[in-house]
Homo-oligomer: A and B are copies of this chain.
Amino acid sequence: MPTCLTTRFTERFGLDHPIALAPMDKISGGALAAAVSEAGGLGLIGGGYADGPWLAQALAQAGNRPVGVGFITWSALEHPETVEIALNANPKALMVSFGDAEPLVEAAQAKGIPVIWQVQTLAQAKQALAAHADVIVAQGQEAGGHGMSRGLMSLLPTIRDLAGKEQIILGAGGIADGRGLAAVMMLGGDGVLMGTRFWACQEASGPQSAKDRMLGLGGDDTIRSKVFDVARDAGWPWHFTGRVVRNRFLNQWHDDPDLQARAPEAQAAYDASDEEDYGTRVLIAGEALDLIRDLPTAAEIVERTSAEAASLLRGAASTL
């Protein structure tokens, strides 16, 4: 048994490690969420755009292991029936991000389910605090997938100063090992939420070709863009961008000032491509790609991240 890190987050959720799985849309399926929870972290199923049948299947796959569910807020608000599926499964937490989640907080907390609200700005953090979110995730722009422009380095301590010392706060974005976890704790965080690191993992629900591809890529290969939201007609509010791996399709469209006007053209080209045509199709991943050079199990990721952070924190005083 490795030395455990104890924080407000581990105490509140009964965890061995202050590590949560980012609810990556359809990548964080039942198997991955359950594996993270069984390893002593907090597994969150990637409910994403609130596809009911997919979520029901993922929950069934997790069985009676204690997992939470995460949604894209603006999409979940359009699919209350899918939110019901999540809440009726008595999840360990409901996570929300990207929008005005007050009604979701109310619905979850009425059933005694704690809410994790991910924010990208200080203004959003104020909104989440006003809604009495149980946990706030400060997501830096380093993160893969949707987000905004602020970096984690100042966003996290800023939210800590705003929220006071009792609020549970996690850091997300650019974290893939124990150095990131230890840094987040120095910034005032109670743990981390990791996405890309768990994407490149045995239990993630995604094609092997994508996982293999990630091992040869780095953060310099990623960019925040609107291209794939437009090409997939995904309905995203314009102020959110998505961090993705650059490819031929992105390079073709990213600087086109007429992207919105030419959306049908981009969509037709995208739809005509094969699912594993990585020159066209989106591969969502964060800047932490440089730090990811293997495809371990979720349990290995949880344990070694926590052990490395514990070792760094234990040795921290040696520089004094």
**Residues of A that sit less than 8 Å from B by CB:** 3-7, 121-123, 140-142, 149-155, 157-158, 161, 173-177, 179-180, 182-188, 218-220, 223-224, 257, 286-288, 290-291, 310, 312-314, 316-317, 319-320
Contact = CB atoms under 8 A, between A and B. Distances in A.
Nearest to A3: B320
B220 A287 contact: no
A290 B122 contact: yes
B291 A158 contact: yes
Instruction: Give 6 closest A-B pairs by Cβ, nearest first.
Output: A153-B174, A257-B257, A142-B151, A154-B174, A182-B186, A316-B316
A161 B310 contact: no
B287 A154 contact: yes
Most chain B beta-carbon neighbours within 10 Å: one of A218, A223, A314, A319: A319
A312 B158 CA distance: 17
Contacts of A180: 153-154, 157, 187
Contact of A151 (B152, B257, B312): B152
Contact of A122 (B7, B154, B155, B220): B220
B151 A186 contact: no
A123 B257 contact: no
Contacts of A173: 151, 153
A150 B185 contact: no
A153 B175 CA distance: 7
Nearest to A160: B179
Contact of A154 (B157, B290, B320): B290
A121 B220 contact: yes
A7 B137 CA distance: 32
Given A153-B175, A154-B288, A155-B174, 6 more contacts: A6-B319, A122-B218, A151-B152, A151-B173, A154-B180, A186-B186
Contacts of A186: 179, 182-183, 185-186, 312-313, 316
B151 A319 contact: no
A151 B220 CA distance: 11
A261 to B, nearest CB: 11
Contacts of A184: 183
B183 A153 contact: yes
A236 to B, nearest CB: 17
A154 B179 CA distance: 9
Contact of A161 (B3, B174, B290, B314): B290
B319 A316 contact: no
A262 to B, nearest CB: 13
A292 to B, nearest CB: 10
B7 A319 contact: yes
Given A173-B151, A218-B158, A320 B313 contact: yes
Contacts of A317: 313-314, 316-317
Given A186-B186, A314-B320, A142 B154 contact: yes
A38 B83 CA distance: 60
A122 B287 CA distance: 11
25 contacts: A6-B319, A122-B218, A122-B220, A140-B153, A141-B151, A150-B219, A151-B151, A151-B174, A153-B173, A153-B175, A153-B287, A154-B291, A155-B219, A157-B179, A158-B290, A161-B290, A179-B186, A183-B184, A185-B319, A186-B186, A186-B316, A257-B257, A310-B320, A313-B319, A314-B316
